[in-house]
Each structure stands twice: as C-alpha cells, then as structure tokens.
C-alpha cells in the first residue's frame, strides 16, 4: 500500500509539499525519468519552464542507435565511436551501457508514439552523423534515427504526452534555487528542494525521499551559443554552492555549424545528408583535416578546422570571419522534406536560400560535457566514489561520463533517454525503503535571504551589462582555442564581474513574473560556472577534444589521462580561484579500448 503523504501546508508564507520523488527540470532527461518514476512512486516535476518549451525541443538531427535498419551496424562499433570521439577520456563501461541500451531507448520512444522517419519498408530510417562509423572507424555508417530535423521537438512532445498519461504532477514555472541537505546517520542526504514560484513570487519547499536533477546546460556563459536564454546552469550551480563537486568542466563543445554571427544551429544532419563545408575559394577543406570521413568528423575536429581556415585567411564574407555550408547539390526535395527547419532558419535569419546558395556558418557554444558527477545508476557522487543517497542527476547537467572531452552528435538525445530512464528506475527502488529526511526549522531561509537581498538592492550595476561583459570575455578568451594568457585574462574579468555583481540593481520590486529578479539570480550561477570552467581549463595543460590549448597543442595521456574534479572550498572574494576551488583527479575507466591517435 502506498505511503500516505503529508498535505500541502503554509508556514510564514512558505508553502510545503511532500512527494516521494522530486525531479528538477522537465526537458528530455527529466521527463524520461518522470515516466519511469511515476509508475512506481508519487512523483513531482519542478520546472522553470512549461515542459514543452524545454531546450530538448531545439535538438534537430537525430538519436543514435545501432538498429542496422539501413546498413550493417552493431552496438560495439557505437561504443568504440563514442570512446574515440570523446578522445579516450570517456568512462568505457558507461559508453557500453549507452550503446547497448540505445536500441531499447529508441523502441521505447517508438512505442510511446514518436513519429520517426521511415524507410520504404516501414522501418525507422537512419542517416549518417559526425564520428559514427562502421567496423571501428573504416567508413561512415547510418546510425542516427530521426524525425526530419525536429527530432528533439518530437521527443519532447512524446515524453510530455506520456507523463500526462502516467499522472506526473508538474509544477510549471517554479524556479529551483537550493537543495536542502541534512545529516542522517552521519551522512549528508537531500531533504528538500526550494523553489520560487514565478507567478506569485512565493517560495515553495518540496520535501522528498529522492531527487533527480535534470536542469540542462549553461551555454549562456558564452555570447555566441545555440543555447536558449534559460540555460544558465541552475542545477550545477545549486550543487556547487552546497560544496558538491563538478566534473570535467573544462570540456565544452562548440558545434561547427551555427549561423554566422547568430549561433542559431544548423543540424549536423545536413552534413549527414551530404552537405559540404567550403572556404571562401570553394575548397572542400575538410579533406585536408579528416581525409577518411571529411565533413563527418567529430564536432571538435570540424569546429577547429573551420576556425583554422578563418585564422589562415581563407574565411568568407566582408570580414573573412566565417565559412560556408553548401547544401545546393542536395536539391529542394531533400532540403524541404528532411531538413525543413534549417532551410527556414537560413532564409529567415540570414536571408539565404540553401537550395540555391551556400549558408554562412561558424562554430557556436553548444554543449557541456562536464557537470554533476554520477555513477551508471544516475546516483550523484560526493567524491570519486561516494554516493549521496537519494540524489540523482541525468542529461546535460550530469557527467557520467559518456561524452568524455567531445560528445558525438545524436548521443545527447540518447543520453537523456538512457540515463533519464536509469535514474528514474533507480530512484523508485531507493524510495521503497527510504524515509523522508527531517527538514530544518526554516528550510527556505537561504533562498529567502538571497531573493530579499536582490529585490532590496539599490546598486548601480546592470544585470544585462554584466552578463554581456561575461559572455564577451568567454567568447574571446575561452572558446574554441585557449591559452594560459587568454584564460588568465578571463579569470581577472570574472573576478571583477563577481565584485560588481554585489552592486547590481533590480528595479522591479514586484513579485509576479519578476524577470529582472530571475535574470539577476541566473547571472550569479553563470559567474560561478564560468569561473570553474576557466580555472579547470587553465589547469589542464594539454589539448583534448573540445579543450584546445594553443600553448599545449598535443594530447598528453601520461599526465592528463584523468577526469578533473572541482570542489568549492572557501570564500570566493579572493581574485585567485585556487583560494576557493580545490581540484582533484578521478581515474578514467578503461575496459577495451586503449588510447590511440585519433585519425579520421
């Protein structure tokens, strides 16, 4: 018989709720976890956005699985590609789980009603994607299952419909700002989430037995990004402030084909269908950088190659600051049926018609490989091995690590489904025997103080101005190419911005939908995460995957074949991050594939 839960109550204006499993975030990972959790426990989802507005809906190209519907394929080749694509800093047992369970994950979505593109025989169609090969790297393979170039949108809608079917309780437009930890039997465990209801400005405490973070990435630390305005790293920032570690934060992926100057994404599926990258002279330059699979090399290699073309003076346009994505040879039928969204994006935002002319593109900040460290069960770790009972994470905010230093395209939609499902399933097993951890007398005190201080602020600094300066320095100093000098400059700027952040002004003193207050809180998380990204990048003296150091251009397996674990340890007033961030190492789990030179 299900346990009777305490009714909602209000104390001193703070609303208290009780649910067995509380999920923070309603993107793909959060809703896939919710579907699994709601079938075995009372489940609530606390989400900053209405679920179908989550950023999973922006994912275009596909979801990898070795179905072998179109040509020969198997999960072992997928595992190898994932490990090699991540430049061998992938935990290989995790990559094997990802590749093995991919097939079931796609079938799950099909059974839920997702309308995949079909072959003439009625099977799920598949197309090529960067870094995915047959027979351990010999040739590209058709592995990406897709729904035109709206795959993420279709996944999001399908998952939401199935959450409704399973009676998941949604708290929409509730902004989670803190996790309350309490000591039970000598160990810190999560007791509650504290959230701000945007509609009323009131605080809510969600007590639970288990909590799953699925809050997405933090791309808004950069100016040129494919990420939505809401991707400010809230979940990572919450656990960071509570002294829990973040893993591999130096590894950030820059997607090769963002619309030049805008960052709006053109899916890698375009190159999967045969689109070609060209420089100003029309040369197919990827033949020089990756002679075997050319334009379908992993994203880190393609992004660096594009930037190198521009740096070497072969860029296109009035300022020679971008290259071209040439889709003209694909024909109108392919573009309008298989790639309709990107065709419309190019026409709308650049006034360029991909059917008849090449599209200006340049790398854009896209995906965080690092995040909250978890094991293969989705359980959050407080160090290299110790599990925090009842705390889980999945999706981009988590680091399991299946992506290493460079995620392969289509493995993100796969990750959210495989590890979202795992975290939800394991949370159900945990709450069967767990008790509610006791709440402190005023569980919302920290958040109340933070919100009150911001609303009472009378400083002279603009939130938008500080955010713009942060994004500009990150674009300039910590993007595709980095050096000690650029990262040191970014560190100085971030410290200055942190000091100025204490003097920000929030002019809107209202409670209802106070977006100015919301952006002020988000900026605090962005400053935290930018600092740890830059400090970890400065520490790693090698180039690997998405982390390219011009002053250390080679991969160094002798000294750097390990994950980076970062811990917040002290007062952040010091200009030197070493005074308040401690870095540690975590071994990479190698099972079958010893590190070798990456050749494509």
Q: Which residues are annotated as a binding site for FAD?
A: 25-30, 47-62, 234, 396, 412-413
Separation of alpha carbons 246 and 237, rounded Å:
9
Contact in structure between 69 and 125 (CB atoms under 8 Å)? yes
Can you say whether the dihedral through the CA atoms of 131, 132, 135, 141 is positive or negative? negative
The secondary structure of the chain in percent helix, strand, coil, rounded to multiples of 5, reads 35, 25, 40
Can you say whether the dihedral through the CA atoms of 90, 80, 274, 150 is positive or negative? negative
Strand residues in 448-489 grouped as ranges (E) = 481-482
Kindly compute the dihedral angle of the four CA atoms of residues 83, 87, 91, 96, in this order, to the nearest 10 degrees. -10
- Owner of token pair 């070609």: 276
Burial of 322 (0-12, 13-18, 19+ CB in 10 A): buried
Residue whose C-alpha is closest to residue 212's, from 176, 242, 247: 176
Catalytic residue among 134, 299, 422, 549: 299
Separation of alpha carbons 71 and 63, rounded Å:
16
Separation of alpha carbons 512 and 455, rounded Å:
12
Separation of alpha carbons 410 and 60, rounded Å:
9
CB neighbourhood size of 591 (10 A): 13
Q: Going by DSSP bridges, is the β-strand pair 203-207/187-197 parallel, antiparallel, or unpaired?
A: antiparallel
What residue spans of 510-600 are helical by DSSP H? 515-539, 557-560
Tokens of 530: 């930018």
Contacts of residue 431, Cβ cutoff 8 Å, sequence gap at least 6? 20, 21, 41, 209, 210, 390
Contacts of residue 113, Cβ cutoff 8 Å, sequence gap at least 6? 158, 161, 162
> Annotated binding residues, as ranges?
25-30, 47-62, 234, 255, 267, 366, 396, 407, 412-413
Q: Going by DSSP bridges, is the β-strand pair 398-399/372-373 parallel, antiparallel, or unpaired?
A: parallel
Q: Kindly list the distances between the CA atom of residue 514 and the CA atoms of 29, 313, 454, 527, 541, in Å, as whole numbers in the listed order.
A: 27, 46, 11, 21, 43
Contact in structure between 253 and 299 (CB atoms under 8 Å)? yes
3-state secondary structure at position 462 = coil
3-state secondary structure at position 257 = strand
Separation of alpha carbons 395 and 368, rounded Å:
10
* Residue 498 designated active-site: no
Residue 48: which H helix or E strand, with range? none
Separation of alpha carbons 502 and 510, rounded Å:
20
**DSSP codes of every residue in 206-227:** EE-SEEEE-----GGGSSSBSS
Tokens of 360: 């200006």
Contact in structure between 234 and 175 (CB atoms under 8 Å)? yes
- DSSP 8-state code for residue 119: -
Tokens of 293: 């699979």
Active site residues: 299
């Amino acid at each position: 018989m299900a346990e009777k839960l305490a009714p909602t109550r209000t104390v001193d204006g703070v609303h208290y709720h009780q649910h067995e499993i509380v999920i923070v975030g309603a993107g793909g990972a959060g809703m896939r976890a919710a579907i699994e959790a709601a079938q075995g426990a009372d489940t609530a989802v606390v989400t900053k956005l209405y679920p179908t507005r989550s950023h999973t809906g922006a994912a275009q190209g596909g979801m990898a699985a070795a179905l072998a519907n179109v040509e020969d394929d198997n999960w072992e080749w997928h595992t190898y590609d994932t490990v090699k694509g991540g430049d061998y800093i992938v935990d290989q047992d995790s990559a094997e789980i990802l590749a093995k369970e991919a097939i079931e994950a796609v079938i799950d979505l099909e059974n839920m009603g997702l309308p995949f593109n079909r072959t003439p025989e009625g099977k799920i169609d598949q197309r090529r994607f960067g870094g995915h090969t047959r027979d351990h790297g010999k040739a590209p393979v058709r592995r990406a299952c897709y729904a035109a170039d709206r795959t993420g949108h279709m996944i999001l809608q399908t998952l939401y419909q199935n959450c409704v079917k399973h009676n998941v309780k949604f708290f929409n437009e509730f902004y989670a700002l803190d996790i309350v930890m309490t000591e039970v039997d000598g160990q810190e465990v999560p007791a509650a989430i504290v959230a701000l209801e945007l509609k009323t400005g009131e605080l809510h405490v969600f007590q639970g037995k288990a909590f799953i973070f699925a809050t997405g990435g933090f791309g808004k630390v950069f100016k040129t990004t494919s990420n939505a305005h809401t991707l400010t790293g809230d979940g990572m920032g919450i656990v960071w402030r509570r002294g829990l570690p973040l893993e591999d934060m130096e590894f950030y992926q820059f997607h090769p084909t963002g619309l030049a100057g805008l960052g709006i994404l053109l899916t890698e599926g375009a190159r999967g269908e045969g689109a070609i990258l060209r420089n100003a002279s029309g040369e197919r330059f990827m033949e020089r950088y990756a002679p075997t699979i050319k334009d379908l090399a992993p994203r880190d290699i393609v992004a660096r190659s594009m930037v190198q073309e521009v740096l070497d003076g072969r860029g296109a346009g009035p300022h020679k600051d971008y290259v071209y994505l040439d889709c003209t040879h694909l024909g109108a039928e392919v573009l309008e049926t298989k790639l309709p969204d990107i065709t419309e994006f190019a026409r709308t935002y650049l006034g360029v018609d991909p059917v008849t002319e090449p599209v200006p593109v340049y790398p854009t900040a896209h995906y965080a490989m690092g995040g909250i460290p978890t094991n293969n069960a989705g359980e959050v770790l407080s160090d290299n091995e110790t599990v925090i009972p009842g705390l889980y994470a999945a999706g981009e905010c988590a680091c399991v690590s299946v992506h290493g230093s460079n995620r392969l395209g289509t493995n993100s939609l796969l990750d959210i489904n495989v590890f979202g499902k795992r975290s939800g399933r394991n949370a159900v097993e945990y709450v069967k025997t767990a008790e509610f951890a006791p709440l402190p007398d005023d569980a919302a005190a920290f958040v109340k103080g933070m919100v009150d201080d911001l609303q009472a602020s009378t400083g002279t600094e603009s939130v938008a101005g500080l955010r713009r300066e942060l994004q500009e320095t990150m674009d300039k100093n910590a993007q595709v190419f980095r050096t000690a000098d650029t990262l040191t400059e970014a560190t100085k700027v971030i410290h200055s911005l942190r000091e100025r952040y204490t003097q920000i002004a929030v002019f809107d003193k209202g409670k209802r939908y106070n977006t100015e207050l919301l952006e002020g809180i988000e900026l605090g998380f962005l400053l935290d995460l930018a600092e740890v990204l830059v400090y970890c990048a400065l520490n790693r003296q090698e180039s690997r995957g998405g982390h390219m150091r011009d002053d250390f251009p080679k991969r160094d397996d002798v000294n750097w074949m390990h994950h980076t674990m970062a811990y917040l340890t002290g007062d952040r007033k010091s200009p030197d991050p070493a005074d308040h961030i401690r870095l540690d190492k975590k071994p990479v789990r190698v099972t079958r594939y010893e590190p070798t030179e990456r050749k494509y």
